[in-house]
Amino acid sequence: MKNKKAVVTGGSRGIGKAIVKELALRNCSSVLLTDISFASTPEECAKEIESELGNGTKIFAFKADATSFNDAQATMQEAIDKMGGVDFLVNNAGITKDNLLIRMTENDFDAVINVNLKSIFNYTKAALKFMVSARYGRIVNIASVVGLMGNAGQSNYAASKAGLIGFSKSIAREVASRNITVNCVAPGFIETDMTKKLSEIQREALMKNVPLGRMGSPEDIAKVVNFLCSEDADYITGQVITVDGGMVM
């Protein structure tokens, strides 16, 4: 079973990196991650993950801006050249630029829509070219509970994540006959660089809404992404699975 090939966007750190590692441990013989920036170089990043895994799974890292249509095409070509195919696509790259609408700039609105939503169009379109002819594919898009329930100060982010959910359900219907599934995972409040920016007061307020009483870990998300890619989820498509300690129920 451990013979699949995956592409994960925004995979150099946080939730993306945990997804790369989980797929590489459970279902994949090789994984290609993309990112717009790396702590050192893409090669160093790939080597570091390979040595953390220590199980012989091949990791490739490719510098690509998820907002660029051309970079998405180049990423898929790299995946074909290096791995020989792409079975799983995980659209994980995302950013926040929070502000109340009254203070939100046009640039901050556009930037969040481009990275969180336009990127899904770029990568899904590029990957489907190969998945449709292979008559197999698993696509998982990382949404957010904010896309389901809204959040003051995050109208750009909520719009991007809600948009991503509508996009995923539409594509799930378009490609189901080709044995390609498209699902979303909607994380709640997860411990990564993205949430490090929050103040202690904001954290305490958020934690009051988490019945399980703790922040999630990147691995909590990665396990569900891996499940949706695995053959245990072959009959699941067009769904949004919230992984949020019970915030939304």
Ligand X SMILES: NC(=O)c1ccc[n+]([C@@H]2O[C@H](COP(=O)([O-])OP(=O)(O)OC[C@H]3O[C@@H](n4cnc5c(N)ncnc54)[C@H](O)[C@@H]3O)[C@@H](O)[C@H]2O)c1
Q: Which of 32, 190, 222, 233 binds ligand X (CB under 6 A)?
A: 190
Q: Which CB, 15 or 28, lies closer to ligand X?
A: 15
Give the range of 73-81, 87-95, 176-184, 205-213 binding ligand X by CB under 6 A: 87-95
Nearer to ligand X, 134 or 194 (CB): 194
* Out of 75, 144, 156, 226, the residue judged to bind ligand X by CB under 6 A: 144
Long-range contacts of 104-113 (CB under 8 A, 24+ apart): 104/155, 104/156, 108/156, 109/155, 109/156, 112/156, 112/157, 112/159, 112/160, 113/156, 113/159, 113/160, 113/163
Q: What does the alpha-carbon distance between residue 146 and residue 189 come to, in Å, rounded to a whole number?
A: 10
Nearest to 22 by CA among 4, 36, 37: 4
Would you count residue 142 as binding ligand X (CB under 6 A)?
A: yes
Q: How far is the CB of 206 from ligand X (least distance, A)?
A: 9
**Catalytic residue at 123?**
no
Number of H helices, E strands in the chain: 10, 7
Is 65 a residue that touches ligand X (CB under 6 A)?
yes
Using an 8 Å Cβ cutoff, are 139 and 89 in contact? Answer: yes
Give me 153's structure tokens. Answer: 């100060």
Q: Which amino acid is at 240?
A: V
Number of residues that bind ligand X (CB under 6 A): 28
- Between 98 and 136, name the residue whose CB sits nearer to ligand X: 98
Interacting stretch for ligand X, rule CB under 6 A, among 6-14, 120-128, 169-177, 223-231?
Answer: 6-14
194 touching ligand X, by CB under 6 A: yes
Of these residues, 123, 136, 157, 235, which one is catalytic? Answer: 157
Query: Are the CB atoms for 91 and 6 separated by under 8 Å?
Result: no
Residue 225 φ then ψ, to 5° = -60, -45
The reply on whether position 35 binds ligand X by CB under 6 A is yes
16 binds ligand X (CB under 6 A): yes
- Please check whether residue 26 is in contact with residue 105, taking contact to mean a CB–CB distance below 8 angstroms: no
245 lies in the binding site for ligand X (CB under 6 A): no
Please pick, from the candidates 25, 26, 36, 238, the single residue that binds ligand X as defined by CB under 6 A.
36
* Binding status of residue 10 toward ligand X by CB under 6 A: yes
Which is closer to ligand X, CB of 19 or CB of 83? 19
Counting contacts by CB under 6 A, is residue 123 touching ligand X? no
Told to check if 9 binds ligand X by CB under 6 A, we report yes
Asked if 150 and 249 touch (Cβ cutoff 8 Å), the reply is: no
Sign of CA dihedral 87, 168, 237, 155: positive
Residues near ligand X, by CB under 6 A: 9-10, 12-16, 34-37, 65-67, 92-95, 115, 142, 144, 187, 189-190, 192-195
Catalytic residue annotation = 157
